[in-house]
Structure 1
């Protein structure tokens, strides 16, 4: 397919959006900030790719200036659509598409897909079950919420469980707010704690107010447990694994929540909390982008449907190709972790790709110091793997094996250990090198 004079602006780096833009005969124009530009990528870009470097991809003025510098007088003629999978650029893209009268979600709806407090207010007003939400500014006496009981405290427009903590006592609550007062740059929301038995997700695409595709998934354990426990993050694609009734319930719930938010066009990643006592779903939160942790790659493997392709079609105002075929294999992603220390050697992801049931291994960590944060977020890992198997039991066993191989093929020096541990490591390391010489 030849590339015409049309272009799609992709705000933030995402290789799937680049590929799908090229597949539609258009030029992908990446808009990245300086750190992302200098960081580069290990994934080769198609030769049609162009790049714009700006200071802040979440700032409408910065992105508009970058587009103007790049296209000049050709901007309105050549730019056919704007799209992002960056959580923090969702409202930016909505503002720009409104400004240029391009297809996509408008700003008043995009804001609801970002702001956790406004989300809760909108769905609760529509009768969709959700936890109560209150605003607080850490350190402020004027905008302060008394301890409501066991709760979750999170940034009002954050992402990936970053700076999200669960507290059960008033003493814990006061200590957390005092800690946040020293570093917070955002208002926070205080949500009632739901007794979560399971956490489910629905990932899909909406166009003209209709869900044209959706895929149901489930976390092995609720996301909040990942922030405090040492267990890896597992995300299963659940369609076709014997939970059809629950999948239908999750889809119906997601449709009601999206309708309450007035979201009509674009991809979505919606999280549902299965309440332990009532065995019913509660609205968790939703984003106007794909989920992280190889979710879109898992959806493509499970359903042969590209969420990125759907996002580009919506951004261009073209009908989304909604046909898909669900495989009967069990599919999941798992996070890969290394111990604290200095990473000296990393595994070759190509060695994993040789296995038929390991579809992708993405190594995120670079050589150097690997220091785990005090409170983890769902973005704190050193790698990810996408795995399939004939049964859920085989899938769990295979993911465990991949995690073990990832550690075995890596080498981490005990930077934070004792002098005895560091000297012992150095001695073993030197012996290993001598045996290779």
Structure 2
């Protein structure tokens, strides 16, 4: 029932290979809890053979997770579990409840909700005197809770993740039409936030322990996230430290420290988004999550700073001091999304083909063969692949990302399922060899 050092098992809620590897690498008994859909879907990155898996209906349900662990460990979870950790946005409060029940290190349930609820966290930040968009909660289709059009605004789930179901609304007619559409399909209350004129969107990724920020890495998006929901440009995230933007990085770090205090977030990893206001040229609070950023952010931090956010999360969940970062790399580091057109994917590239490419640290393919039905409104989680690259200059970095995006598209094959018969026959004629191989 215990790991090799006799301290018990670490429970990882949700699928996150770096987090699992960080536990297994320390000789800890590692239990990963996934729901049925995630278990059947598998994962793009293999897990260590030592990983034990518990499958439950809902990883956000405390009762489901407790029952799953009891099936594996028996009735005395206090003796069998030494730490619980997650990088899953929707399980942050679940972990807080479980660690509270088992008297383990972690964020309290009262403070964990501030890292999930978009309205509550902005209220806390505004109360501390920090700039942020005003927000209101609306239940689409409800006469009990209604919000008149506040002017140009952003509408999104009150406790969502990324930019899923997030839309910018600029007119009253568009606002009413959106609320009517949401009334027929919404499963969550929504938050309506004033629209900030954003010049740039920055991020701070780091770790807090005992109320102090013990590590942070600053980055920025090529374009604000809301632009990504409507444009066709790929999502790009640059690490900003050591790239000539030191003053802005220090401003971001100072703002993040004050915001974390306002949120009463004292132990754990965090991913904070800051909006650089076009008029004032100062930062406003965007959002903050009690987990790592999506995509390849934690891998980018490891390349740039030699620091494992996953390892730090394990330290915090065990109540141990966070291990220090290694020397920062002077290369420029960025990650970018990889996209394929709408249709049926019949061939995908092998990520290992990119491994020998200079400056390409990782290429992750998330797409599977079959339908690729691009949604009308994209989110920052919508991509078919992601790559992490480094280079000696920003110009070289851009060229390298372009090359990977091009190679990814060229080594894939997408049939125009949603096209006309003429288009489909033209595709078959052009790729005759590929179709012969498939048949």
Superposed CA offset, 1:186-243 (max 9, x none):
1101000000000000000000000000000000000000000000000000000000
Residue 347 (1) aligns with residue 349 (2):
yes
Q: CA deviation at 1:44?
A: 2.9
- Per the alignment, in what secondary structure is the counterpart of residue 228 of structure 1? coil
Larger deviation, residues 396-405 vs 249-258: 396-405
Q: Verify the 8 A CA contact 2:44 2:364 in the aligned structure 1.
A: no
Query: Equivalent residue for 2:201?
Result: 199
Of residues 327, 330, 344, the one that matches 1:328 is 330
Give the 5 Å matches for 1:259-270.
259-270=261-272
Give the 5 Å matches for 1:302-317.
302-317=304-319
Q: CA deviation at 1:417?
A: 1.1
Gapped runs of 5+ residues in structure 2?
none
Query: Equivalent residue for 2:260?
Result: 258
Relative distance call for 1:277 and 1:8 in structure 2 (3 A) is same
TM-score (norm 1): 0.98
Of residues 14, 35, 38, the one that matches 2:37 is 35
Give the 5 Å matches for 1:23-172.
23-172=25-174
Following the alignment from structure 1 to structure 2, what is the Cα–Cα distance between the partners of residues 139 and 324?
A: 52
Following the alignment from structure 1 to structure 2, what is the Cα–Cα distance between the partners of residues 2 and 436?
A: 48
- Per the alignment, in what secondary structure is the counterpart of residue 28 of structure 1? strand
Query: Equivalent residue for 2:358?
Result: 356
Q: CA deviation at 1:397?
A: 1.2
Following the alignment from structure 1 to structure 2, what is the Cα–Cα distance between the partners of residues 37 and 234?
A: 29
Q: Verify the 8 A CA contact 2:201 2:221 in the aligned structure 1.
A: yes
Q: Verify the 8 A CA contact 1:3 1:22 in the aligned structure 2.
A: no
CA RMSD of aligned residues (A): 1.5
Q: CA deviation at 1:324?
A: 2.6
Relative distance call for 1:15 and 1:3 in structure 2 (3 A) is farther
Query: Equivalent residue for 2:185?
Result: 183
Following the alignment from structure 1 to structure 2, what is the Cα–Cα distance between the partners of residues 37 and 432?
A: 32
Q: Verify the 8 A CA contact 1:4 1:25 in the aligned structure 2.
A: no
Aligned residues: 437
Q: CA deviation at 1:47?
A: 2.6
- Per the alignment, in what secondary structure is the counterpart of residue 74 of structure 2? helix
- Per the alignment, in what secondary structure is the counterpart of residue 8 of structure 1? strand
Following the alignment from structure 2 to structure 1, what is the Cα–Cα distance between the partners of residues 342 and 43?
A: 25
Query: Equivalent residue for 1:7?
Result: 9
Relative distance call for 1:129 and 1:435 in structure 2 (3 A) is closer
Following the alignment from structure 2 to structure 1, what is the Cα–Cα distance between the partners of residues 438 and 58?
A: 48
Q: CA deviation at 1:432?
A: 5.2
Q: CA deviation at 1:48?
A: 2.0
TM-score (norm 2): 0.97
Superposed CA offset, 1:99-147 (max 9, x none):
0000011100100000000001000000010000011111112211110
Gapped runs of 5+ residues in structure 1?
none
Give the 5 Å matches for 1:399-414.
399-414=401-416
